[in-house]
A and B are shown apart, each in its own frame.
Chain A
Amino acid sequence: MSAGGGGVGTPKALPSSGPKSLRDMPHPLAASSSEEAGAELTPSPDLLLPRSIADKDLSLPNGTPVDTSSPASSSSLLNRLQLDDDLDGETRDLFVTVDDPKKHVCTMETYITYSVTTKTTRAEFDLPEYSVRRRYQDFDWLRNKLEESQPTHLIPPLPEKFVVKGVVDRFSEEFVETRRKALDKFLKRIADHPVLSFNEHFNVFLTAKDLNAYKKQGMALLSKMGESVKYVTGGYKLRSRPIEFTAIGDYLDTFALKLGTIDRIAQRIIKEEVEYLVELREYGPVYSTWGALEVELAEPLEGVSACIGNCCTALEELSEDMTEDFLPVLREYILYAESMKNVLKKRDQVQAEYEAKLEVVALKREERPKMPTDVEKCQDRVECFNADLKADLERWQNNKRQDFRQLLMGMADKNIQYYEKCLMAWESIVPLLQDKPETK
């Protein structure tokens, strides 16, 4: 990792990246007030530390030495994949699954609940296994709580709450299934996170019989972070925002834009495919109609008709697969980019707060030569935020690469399968067409 880097930047500056972070940052709530994390950081001019990270980040954005950006040969690719799996396997001791959606019809409202099953060996849990039922609102509560209590971390996105009314039936099987998958992904991403998975609200969410009781408790408490965020209103220009965060901001803008385009293209393709399917469904039977008029040609024409029918089925599967598997992942990442931008904004605000205090101190320097502790605290918070966020970004970049590799390979596979099915159908009727003259 940042091996000494340039300047005052300490190796401890990046403790939370990689699997180690679990031990380095045992207290998830330390973010805003942690003394020990702050104490370990040398109070250095904030210009230097982030610069060194930034340089490092540009060359090796994933930090981990296994991830070389050079084009991998197939063997080194395999190595990398295995190593990734190993790393994941090592830290994984919490397994969460969302399944079995059920519709509840009450007098007041109709809603869906999902079964959330947890299996774990962690000491924080009293039992090795839990199973609770949660509805979307509860997931939403969890996400808000995580954002509140872990403001320095990137919280995975939830699927959109509101779908355009009338366009999508909220209780349709497809909608519920797509949402279930997204909620499952959401919890899995938290469970795999070295910090978020230890969050007490997450624990409560996974284990509490009656979540509503906890929800009411939480109402009274306002997080400290929430207050500090209000401290600076927008419009303040940071004097020295680390380049890497500016770069990430720009990256996210472009990334979200490109994903939006891909999402539109994918939807358009599905639409074209569905329209193609409509025509194809009319096309096949015309050959049957024709076959009914003919004697010698009856069989070949019927064969072509059946073949087109098979192609229809294959096409239908293709567009269904793309709708169910491809689009949701794109959506998740578009929302992810949004979450990330929010965290970046928060980080900027924390830094702005610090810079404002620093300015005040600079004016009074003659009176008090030593840095007041609240300014130091504030600086610590900036450092801490930067470190947490950087670790999360690395983790996110890694996940993103794997997810997209899988997603795009899946898309290619689905298309290959589609063509293979059509190929088989057409190849099977060639003998039928050719044999006829011989038997005559």
Chain B
Amino acid sequence: MERPEAEPFGAGSPDSLPEDEPESPGSPAPPEEPGGAAADTMMDDCLLKKIEINVSEAEKRTGRNAMNMQETYTAYLIETRAVESQTEGQCSPPDSLWRRYSEFELLRNYMLATYSHIVVPPLPEKRAEFVWHKLSADNMDPDFVERRRIGLENYLLRVASHPVLCQDKIFYSFLTQEGGWKEMVNETGFQLKADSRLKALNATFRVKNPDKRFTELKHYSDELQSVISHLLRVRARVADRLYGVYKVHGNYGRVFSEWSAIEKEMGDGLQSAGHHMDVYAASIDDILEEEEHYADQLKEYLFYAEALRAVCRKHELMQYDLEMAVQDLTCKKQQCEELATGTVRTFSLKGMTSKLFGQETPEQREAKIKVLEEQIHDGEQQLKVKNLEGRDFVKSAWTDIERFKEQKNHDLKEALINYAVMQISMCKKGIQVWTNAKECFSKM
């Protein structure tokens, strides 16, 4: 079915749409059409300028899976609202629909296959990793669901603000079209485009002339991944220990209070100091919960490293294919020459068979040469196409990589500042609590 919103970002997006926006009742444009409307006015701007995206809620659901087995999963409410209508003051209610994590995954897989030259934004982790032991690793844990909700929203915002990805039709209908979306994705046949070799992570392809820039980038993404995962692991341990230090102080609260019962002058001071120790011990919960957001920011880049590597990998494969094609062509050319001149430069099976079973007739040879020449011609055409593809890939991939680098530097700097601010607030809390406690001790 050809729904108008299917190609709101197509080259010639319909002009009629902006005028008959929400109010026009008989309009063929469904209300979830703001993208199309805005697309007309700000063609090359990103989707985020036109609609507001929120993942506002998470809900636990029970359903039946493909095997008709009962399963529990979490669904997330995606709300979209046209920015246009808001500024006009007619604040229309947001359009909303529910998606589950596996649908986000499908969307991302589709993007990976379709936009192999782009560093596709990663999804939040499927299972909680690198968490300090007090946090539950349970997928249904409310804290985990909440952090994932934030992560999924962040993912949608990343895609919506990406210059290329935001124009994707499938993405747009992911946001706006609840039913039939999966079928639509599958119709694109993205799975066919997906290079299965990309998934075979360990296989190495010997590329003769690798592009130095991509080799370096691949190396960088490996290192980045390893350093961030190391950082996250140690951070989780640091959080564990810090938690211990604070919580053990809570024991002072109890013992000071018990001790105060047998003291006269010291009693009051001890009792209230004990209260401050309780406050101190309790303060670590919020501190570490906040720090978990910092860890999530780092985690995003841990997964981004993977996406970056996928681009490098794709480039490597293209280069490999190109080189194989060149090799094949050279081989065919040589065969052709051999047939034409009748000389066999190297030992070959063909040479042996011809010796054993006698020479071919000239007609046969002619036909063979003809077939080979055709193949060579095709091969040269293909090579041209591949070269062109490769050049295009490098060009667009590098543009996106540059964009990614900028985004990364900006985001991580922001994350580090937030981290420092968090630490500062923790220190201030510590100073406050101990100053209060000191006040109590001084009255003893």
Contacts and interface: CB of A to CB of B under 8 A. Distances in A.
Given A258-B259, A415-B434, A433-B416, A401 B444 contact: yes
A276 B252 CA distance: 19
Contacts of B264: 61, 69
Given A293-B224, A426-B423, A301 B416 contact: yes
A304 interface: yes
B194 interface: no
A405 B444 contact: yes
A265 B274 CA distance: 13
A262 interface: yes
A415 B234 CA distance: 24
Scoring A67, A419, A429 by chain B CB atoms within 10 A of each residue's CB, the highest score goes to A419
A420 B428 CA distance: 8
Interface stretch (A27-35, A44-52, A123-131, A282-290): A282-290
A423 B424 CA distance: 5
Interface string B239-260: 0111011001101100100110
* Interface of B (DSSP majority class): helix
A404 B240 CA distance: 31
A409 B439 CA distance: 8
Contacts of B320: none
A440 B259 CA distance: 59
B421 interface: yes
B251 A265 contact: yes
Nearest to B268: A71
A77 B443 contact: yes
A279 B419 contact: no
Interface stretch (A91-99, A267-275, A347-355): A267-275
Contacts of A300: 412-413, 416
A24 B353 CA distance: 131
Interface string B101-133: 000000000000000000000000000000000
B171 to A, nearest CB: 30
A136 interface: no
B266 A401 contact: yes
B388 interface: no
Given A71-B268, A282-B234, A426 B227 contact: no
Given A265-B248, A283-B235, A426-B427, A416 B434 contact: yes
Nearest to B258: A258
B227 A289 contact: yes
Nearest to B423: A426
Nearest to A70: B265
Interface in B384-439: 408-410, 412-413, 416-417, 419-421, 423-424, 427-428, 430-431, 434-435, 437-438
A275 B244 CA distance: 10
B326 interface: no
A71 B435 CA distance: 19
A426 B231 CA distance: 19
A122 interface: no
Contacts of B237: 279
B413 A269 contact: no
A294 B244 CA distance: 34
B413 A430 contact: no
B430 A419 contact: yes
B60 interface: no
Contacts, number: 152
B370 interface: no
Contacts of A287: 231
Nearest to B444: A405
Interface size band for A:
35 or more
A437 interface: yes
A55 to B, nearest CB: 14
B230 interface: yes
B228 interface: yes
A434 interface: yes
B434 A290 contact: no
B273 interface: yes
Contacts of B413: 297, 300, 433, 436-437
Contact of A272 (B220, B227, B241): B241
B244 A272 contact: yes
B190 interface: no
B223 interface: yes
A286 B231 contact: yes
Interface string B259-289: 1001011101100010000000000000000
B435 A275 contact: no
B301 to A, nearest CB: 10
B232 to A, nearest CB: 9
Nearest to A301: B416
Contacts of A261: 251, 255
A251 interface: yes
A276 B434 contact: no
B420 A415 contact: no
B220 A420 contact: no
B343 interface: no
B441 A405 contact: yes
Nearest to B226: A289
A170 B279 CA distance: 39
Contacts of B269: 405
Nearest to B231: A286
Contacts of B252: 262, 265
Nearest to B428: A423
Nearest to A311: B423
A169 interface: no
A163 interface: no
B438 A413 contact: yes
A296 B405 CA distance: 10
Given A265-B255, A286-B227, A301-B416, 18 more contacts: A265-B252, A268-B248, A273-B245, A290-B224, A294-B409, A300-B413, A304-B420, A404-B444, A405-B442, A408-B273, A408-B437, A409-B438, A412-B437, A416-B431, A416-B435, A419-B430, A426-B423, A430-B424
5 contacts: A77-B442, A261-B255, A282-B234, A405-B444, A419-B427
Interface of B: 220, 223-224, 227-228, 230-231, 234-235, 237-238, 240-242, 244-245, 248-249, 251-252, 255, 258-259, 262, 264-266, 268-269, 273, 408-410, 412-413, 416-417, 419-421, 423-424, 427-428, 430-431, 434-435, 437-438, 441-444
